[in-house]
Structure 1
Amino acid sequence: MEPRNHTDVSEFLLLGLTDDPELQSFLFCLFLAMYLATILGNLLIILTVSSDSQLHNPMYFFLSNLSFTDICISTTTIPKMLVNIQAENQGITYIGCLTQIGFALVFGGYENFLLVAMAYDRYVAICYPLMYTVIMNPRLCVLLMLLSLFLSIVVALLHSLMVLQLSFCKDLEIPHFFCELAQVLKLACSDTLINNIVINIVTGLFGGISLSGIMFSYTQIVSSVLRMPSVSGKYKAFSTCGSHLAVVSLFYGTIFGVYISSAVTDSSRKTAVASVMYIVVPQLMNPFIYSLRNRDMKGALRQLLSRIACFLTLFRVLWARVSRMKQSDRNSK
C-alpha cells in the first residue's frame, strides 16, 4: 500500500458505532440526549458551587473543576459525531482529528489528576481534620489544579507531535466515533514502535502514580476511620468519601473494561462501542453521583433550582405585563 506523508492527508473517515443506516437516527437521538444531560448536569454543579458560599471549600472547588472537565471531554467527541450522522458524512479533517486527539488527552489526563487531588483532599479532611484549612489552603488547591493541567498538556503535546511525524496509508478509515490515538496509530504506514512505547510508559507512569496515590489515601482513610470510637463519626467520615469513591470506580473501571475488551476481541467496532463507557458514561453520571449522594449538594441544588424557578416566574409575570401594555397601546390607537 502506498504511504502518504502527513502533509498529503486531507481527512480521515470516522466509521462510527454501526453501519446500519436504520440505527443512525436512534444513535443521534440517544447521544444528543446524553450530551445535553451531561452539559446541563455539570453546569448545574458548577452554578451550585459558585452560588452557595457554604460550598466554597477545596472539596467543591475540585468538584467544579471536575464538572468543567466532563463538559470539555463530552464536547470534544460527541458534537462531531452528531454532525456526521446528521450530515451523513463520515469525514473529519486531518487537523480536526489531531485537535480531537489532543483535547481528549488533555481533558482525560486532567480528570485523572483531579481525582488524585480529590482523594488527597479527603485524606487530609479525615486524617488531619484540625489542620485541614491550613494544609488545603487556596494556594495549594490552585497549585494542584495548575500542575494537573500542565502535566496533561505536556502529555497531549508529546503524543500529538509524535503523530505529526507519521506517514499514513490510503486506507484512512477509523472504526470509531472519534479520533482515538490508538486507532489513528493503526493507520500509519511508518513505524509506530516509539509511539507505542511512549504511550505505555506515560500510561504506566501517570496511571500507576495516580492509582497508587488514590489507594494510599483510602488506605489511610479506612485506617483512621476504624480508630474512631463513634459509629456516627465513622458513618459521617465514610459518607464524605462515598461520592468520590463512586466516581473513581466508574472512571477507572470503565477504562479497564475497555482495555480488557480490546484485548479479548479483534473487532475494532466492538471496541468503539465499549469506548462509550469511558468517554461518555462517566461524564454523564458524575453530576448525578455527587448530587444524589451528597447532602450539602442536594440542599444547595434545591436552593439554586428555587431561585431559578422564582426568576422564571418573575420573568413570565413581567413579560405578561409588557404584553398587556403593548396590547393596550394598540387598542388605544
Structure 2
Amino acid sequence: MQAVLCGYYGKGNGGDEALLATLLQMLPDRVTPLVLSGNPEATRNRYGVKACDRNSIPQVIQALRQSDAFIWGGGSLMQDTTSAISPFYYGGLMTLAQLMGLKTIAWGQGIGPLKRPLTRFLARQNFTGCSAVSVRDRASAALLNDWQVSCTLAPDPVWALESVAVTGLWDLPAPRVAVTLRSHPQLTPTRLANFTRALVDFQTATQACILLVPFQQSQDLAIAQAIQPQLPGSSQIFTLEDPKALKGLFRGVEMAIGMRLHSLIMAASEGCRCFALSYDPKVSQLVAELDMPGWELSQMPEDANVISKTWIEHYVNGDATSPEKIDALIDRALLHQELLAEALLT
C-alpha cells in the first residue's frame, strides 16, 4: 500500500517537520509513504522516502493516482486565520483524493479557527468524507461532534516522537535555558525590546547559557540574531533541521521560554520546565491542559523587571511536567498510531 502524506512539509518549519517525522515513525511497515513537500530533495534525503513537489499539480495528481490512501499529516491545516488560501489547498486535495476513491485519513489535526462560512463548509465536507479522523485538542473534537463526525482525541503526536542527543550541547556551560520566538504581529518591536531586556536580567541573575532556537529560520532566525548580541553571558543560536535532534535539544535544558506550540510540547516531553507566550488558541489550549505558566503575548507585562522576576521565580521554584504525566501523554499520543494501523490495514 502507498499513502500520500500531506502537510506543511519541506517548508523549514521545525514543528511541521516533527509531525512528519512522527507520522513516518507511526506508519505501519507495510505502507510506503509518498510525501508532498515544498523541498522534495531535502525530504527524500532527510527521511529516505519518496517525495514530490507539493506545488506541481501534475506531480500531485500522479501521486494520487499511484496511491491507495491520502493522509492529512498533523497540524492546523484547516484554518483560515494565518492564510485564506491554506484551507482551499488542503481541502481541495482531500476532496480530490476522496473523489478518486482513496482511503482518506485526517491524522493529528487541530481544526480552526474557521471564520469564513465557505472554509467552514469545506472543512465539514472533508472531515465527513474521511475514513478515520484523529484530533489533538478538545476544541477540535467538540467541533467534529457538532458535525456528527466520529474521531479519536489524543495529545499531539509529537509527544511520542523519538528524540536523539545533540552533538556539542553538553559542552556548553550549564545551566541552559532555551528560547523559541517567532515573528508575529503581536510580537511588536516594543514587546520584543521588553522581552530582550528581561532576558538580559534573567541571564544576569541565573548565569544561564541562553540557547536561541529558531524553529523556522525564515521567521525566527532574525529575531534570534537580534537578541544574541545584547546578552551579557554565554549564548548560542541552534539551527537544527532534524526534528528528532530538535526535540533532543531539550534533554539538556533546565527551562524553556517559548511561543511555538511544538517547542513547548518537545520541552515538556523531555522533562523541561516551560514558560509559554501564547499567540494562538492552540498554544493557549496546551497551557490550560498542562497548567503551564505563561502569558497571552498580547497581555505580557510592559515592565521588563516584572517579566524577569516571573521567569526567575519559575526557574527557581517551578515544576516540570511530572514523569508520570509525560508517560501518560505519550501513551495516549500513540492512539494516533493505532488509528493509522486500523484504518490502513483493515
Range of TM-score over shorter length: under 0.3
Q: Which has the higher contact order (CA 8 A, sep 6+)?
A: 1
Indicate the structure (1 or 2) with the bigger Cα radius of gyration: 1
Greater percentage in strand: 2
Greater percentage in helix: 1
Q: What's the TM-score once normalised by structure 1's chain length?
A: 0.24
